[in-house]
């Protein structure tokens, strides 16, 4: 049965993007919803402004509120840009994300030159607040990231600037995809997916050797 037609789409007049997306999912439990529908719901009902950061709000519903929101990464029968909240249950282990206090956050920003600190293969992202993200599009907003996943270290110091770094929205999402908040384990598949051709080749060679498909 194709239940895509049965999706309820509001209207949702909640003030925050996150609250509108949450209401939308709760109205459509166990139904397949699409990226387009999510963007429609996330769009400001008053101004008609389409938010750039709806994907980040989705991540927060998972990590902060403990909802299960499945995507093709979790379920083979979902296609890319399809999502599903199977039930309204919120994992009790989900902790509200702790933030550094204002003074600490200012120091963290200062120490990183007010730039995204994401580093990959020796190259730092370096996007600044207000820049246009050349990869993901949209205006960059820097938010605090606890360097080690919060699920592993519930006791973190909001006053210790060495524990934090500024990340742009795209790299916040990327980091969340890298770590499974429930288990604290690395999401190796997501990492390989986002790696370079060269790195994928290395992994491929490694696996070939590992499984003995080719002679070392």
Using CB under 5 A as the criterion, which residues of the chain lie in contact with Zn ion when the complex forms?
Answer: 116, 118, 125, 127, 168, 171
Query: Closer CB to Zn ion, residue 171 or residue 176?
Result: 171
Residue spans of alpha helices (H) in the chain? 17-27, 35-42, 54-63, 102-111, 169-178, 188-193, 197-210
**Smallest distance from the beta carbon of 18 to Zn ion, in angstroms?**
21
**Smallest distance from the beta carbon of 11 to Zn ion, in angstroms?**
34
Query: Closer CB to Zn ion, residue 101 or residue 196?
Result: 196
**Smallest distance from the beta carbon of 120 to Zn ion, in angstroms?**
9
- For 33, other C-beta atoms within 10 Å of its C-beta total 24
Contact predicate 84/32, CB 8 Å: yes
**Smallest distance from the beta carbon of 104 to Zn ion, in angstroms?**
20
Query: Closer CB to Zn ion, residue 17 or residue 168?
Result: 168
Please tell me the distance from the alpha carbon of residue 146 to that of residue 175, in angstroms, as a whole number. Answer: 10
Query: Closer CB to Zn ion, residue 33 or residue 127?
Result: 127
Query: Closer CB to Zn ion, residue 51 or residue 138?
Result: 138
Q: Tokens 């194709």 belong to which residue? A: 2
What is the DSSP code string of 140-182? ---EEEESS-TTT-S---TT-GGGEEEE-HHHHHHHHHHB-TT
Q: Which two tokens stand for residue 168?
A: 């742009």
Please tell me the distance from the alpha carbon of residue 28 to that of residue 43, in angstroms, as a whole number. Answer: 18
Q: Which two tokens stand for residue 10?
A: 């509001």
**Smallest distance from the beta carbon of 40 to Zn ion, in angstroms?**
27
Please tell me the distance from the alpha carbon of residue 114 to that of residue 147, in angstroms, as a whole number. Answer: 16
Q: Which two tokens stand for residue 76?
A: 């083979």
**Smallest distance from the beta carbon of 91 to Zn ion, in angstroms?**
28
Query: Closer CB to Zn ion, residue 194 or residue 208?
Result: 194
């Amino acid at each position: 049965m194709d239940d895509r037609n049965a999706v309820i789409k509001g209207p949702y007049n909640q003030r925050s993007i996150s609250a509108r997306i949450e209401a939308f999912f709760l109205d459509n439990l166990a139904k397949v919803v699409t990226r387009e529908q999510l963007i429609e719901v996330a769009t400001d009902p008053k101004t008609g402004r389409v938010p750039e950061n709806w994907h980040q709000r989705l991540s927060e519903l998972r990590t902060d509120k403990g909802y299960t929101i499945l995507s093709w990464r979790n379920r083979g029968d979902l296609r890319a840009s399809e999502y599903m909240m199977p039930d309204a249950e919120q994992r009790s282990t989900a902790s509200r994300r702790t933030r550094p206090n204002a003074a600490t956050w200012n120091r963290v920003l200062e120490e990183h030159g007010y730039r995204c600190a994401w580093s990959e293969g020796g190259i730092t992202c370096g996007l600044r607040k207000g820049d246009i993200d050349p990869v993901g599009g949209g205006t960059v907003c820097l938010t605090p990231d606890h360097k080690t996943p919060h699920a592993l270290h519930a006791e973190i110091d909001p006053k210790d600037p060495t524990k934090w770094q500024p990340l742009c929205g795209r790299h916040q999402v990327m980091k969340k995809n890298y770590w499974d908040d429930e288990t604290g384990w690395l999401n190796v598949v997501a990492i390989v997916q986002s790696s370079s051709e060269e790195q994928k080749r290395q992994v491929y060679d490694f696996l070939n050797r590992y499984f003995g498909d080719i002679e070392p």
